[in-house]
Amino acid sequence: MKENKDKQNKKIEYYTVDRIEEEIVVLENRDTLEKENINLKKLPKGIKQGIILKKINNVFFIDMDKTEKVAKRLNDKMKNLIQ
């Protein structure tokens, strides 16, 4: 029962890495489009512009599945524009 309760309390938010400025990373909330500045040390190693992060209970994780899906969708749109 406790495990179900824990799952219900987890708030998941998604952010895109907008840009990295020295030790500050500018994230954009994918739902609200609000910008948030986070110290680079608080984020997973290996982040770069365009990566999608999942935030669960104030901890960030790289979401490669979502990042790849979004990149593919953008790539497909660009191909359609060129044709």
**pLDDT for residue 7 is more than 60:** no
Tell me the pLDDT tens digit for each residue of 16-56. 999 999 999 999 999 999 999 999 999 999 999 999 999 99
The answer to the question of residue 32 being in a domain is yes
Band of pLDDT at residue 8, cut at 50, 70 and 90: low
* Total residue length of the chain: 83
Q: Residue 52: which domain range?
A: 11-82
**pLDDT at residue 76 in the model:** 86
pTM for this predicted structure: 0.78
- Number of domains the chain is built from: 1
CATH number of the domain within which 33 lies: 2.40.50
Residue 56 tokens, joined:
């669960």
Instruction: List, in sequence order, every residue forming a beta bridge with 48; answer none if it has no partner.
Output: none
Tell me the pLDDT tens digit for each residue of 55-72. 999 999 999 999 999 889
The answer to the question of residue 5 being in a domain is no
The answer to the question of residue 22 being in a domain is yes
